[in-house]
């Protein structure tokens, strides 16, 4: 019998933090529960989870800013795990391998988007911790072709944030088009989990970084990593920006980014959710400025970023929580109390 707020484990059972109803995170809507361990089907893997990153997308799901795909739901899409069971016929991985599972759980490979290399826009895609149960648990199931080898120079806790904050940020960085040029002034608006990793890759690629955040400690953090300048979103940087990535889910910050953009520049919106844009003055996008949104990630994004992160020696700052403290981790994220990334240590 389930006892709210308690966890225990049987032979075929596991601990999980389960969302039964969307609600403010302050009300602790994730319930620690004892549930059946998942079973694998053809082409699937059973993973024993070591840790799972905590993402702002999880918060958007919990608090109703994103529509629910299913209930009850186990959140979490930055999963580092050990393969415990592998379906017959799978030969790209084996039992005992350490792998990562990101936001994109599966894509069909057949629709027009998949055929164009845009599986992140797949009509039939499934998403970890959203349409499929994720990593706020001791075990989960994954698709064999959608898990990724963790670089050997990363431990579990520091690998987890790479799988979403890092991968999505890397897709945003590619969409700025500055990597193709190998130079340019890049503005980062918001300096949390994703931005502090992408700054390290961008610097390693020869870009100059300008960081916009109201938090003084985050400004100092950005400067310590090598940013050329750091200030508030309303402050004027010493240069015009060739591109900007907006990590904050607030439309007014996007407007500030456009104000600071040079001719022909691009603003990339890296969040899955943003407050409504009430007014956009045409003069802010004149002179061939662009706005580009990021939707999910592709398998290629994940693979490339894991390589680039290792090359740049990206070291995420990590705050560690236990599984049962998932509500606290999400609340700390909401309140801006986390430097870098929050990670749940499962085993």
Which token pair is 187?
Answer: 């503005």
**pLDDT for position 267:** 98
**Rounded Cα–Cα distance for residues 286 and 124 (Å):** 36
**pLDDT for position 2:** 40
**pLDDT for position 274:** 87
3-state secondary structure 212-238: ECCCHHHHHHHHHHCCCEEECCCCCCC
Reduced to 3 states (helix: H, G, I; strand: E, B; else coil), residue 197 is: helix
**pLDDT for position 291:** 96
Domain boundaries, the chain: 13-163+297-345, 167-293
Tell me the C-alpha to C-alpha distance, in Å, between residue 258 and each of 184, 238, 266, 346. Answer: 16, 15, 8, 41
Say which CATH superfamily domain 167-293 falls into: NAD(P)-binding Rossmann-like Domain (3.40.50.720)
User: Splitting the chain (347 residues) into consecutive groups of 10 residues, what average pLDDT does each group show?
Assistant: 44 92 97 94 92 95 93 97 87 88 96 96 96 97 94 95 94 96 95 92 96 95 96 96 95 96 97 86 92 94 96 93 97 90 94
What class does CATH assign to 13-163+297-345?
alpha beta
The four Cα atoms 82, 87, 88, 89 give a dihedral, to 10 degrees, of: -90
**pLDDT for position 86:** 86
**Rounded Cα–Cα distance for residues 153 and 14 (Å):** 30
Q: Is the link from the previous residue into 133 a cis peptide, with omega within 30 of 0?
A: no
Q: What share of the chain is helix, strand, coil (3-state, %, to 5)?
A: 30, 30, 45
């Amino acid at each position: 019998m389930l006892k709210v707020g308690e966890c225990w484990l049987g032979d075929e059972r596991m601990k999980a933090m389960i969302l039964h109803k969307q609600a403010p995170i302050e009300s602790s809507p994730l319930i620690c529960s004892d549930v059946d361990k998942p079973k694998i089907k053809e082409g699937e893997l059973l993973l024993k989870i070591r840790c799972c990153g905590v993402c702002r997308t999880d918060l958007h799901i919990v608090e109703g800013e994103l529509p629910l795909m299913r209930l009850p739901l186990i959140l979490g899409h930055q999963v580092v795990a050990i393969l415990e069971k592998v379906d017959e016929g799978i030969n790209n991985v084996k039992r005992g391998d350490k792998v990562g599972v990101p936001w994109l759980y599966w894509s069909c490979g057949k629709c027009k988007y998949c055929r164009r290399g845009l599986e992140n826009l797949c009509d039939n895609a499934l998403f970890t911790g959203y349409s499929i149960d994720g990593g706020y648990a001791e075990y989960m199931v994954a698709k064999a072709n959608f898990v990724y080898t963790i670089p050997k120079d990363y431990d579990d806790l520091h690998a987890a944030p790479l799988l979403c904050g890092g991968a999505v940020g890397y897709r945003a960085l590619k969409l700025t088009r500055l990597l193709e040029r190998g130079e340019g002034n890049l503005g980062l608006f918001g300096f949390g989990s994703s931005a502090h990793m992408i700054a390290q890759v961008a610097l390693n690629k020869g870009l100059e970084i300008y960081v916009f955040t109201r938090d003084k400690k985050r400004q100092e953090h950005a400067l310590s990593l090598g940013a050329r300048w750091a200030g508030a979103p309303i402050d004027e940087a010493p240069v015009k920006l060739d591109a900007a990535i907006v990590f904050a889910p607030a439309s007014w910050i996007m407007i500030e980014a456009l104000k600071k953009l040079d001719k022909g520049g691009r603003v990339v919106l890296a969040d899955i959710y943003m407050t409504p844009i009430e007014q956009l003055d045409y003069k802010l996008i004149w002179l061939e400025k662009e706005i580009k949104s990021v939707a999910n990630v592709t398998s290629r994004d994940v693979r490339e970023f894991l390589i680039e992160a290792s090359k740049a020696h990206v070291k995420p700052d990590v705050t560690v929580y236990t599984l049962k403290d998932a509500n606290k981790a999400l609340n700390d994220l909401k309140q801006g109390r986390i430097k870098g990334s929050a990670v749940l240590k499962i085993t």
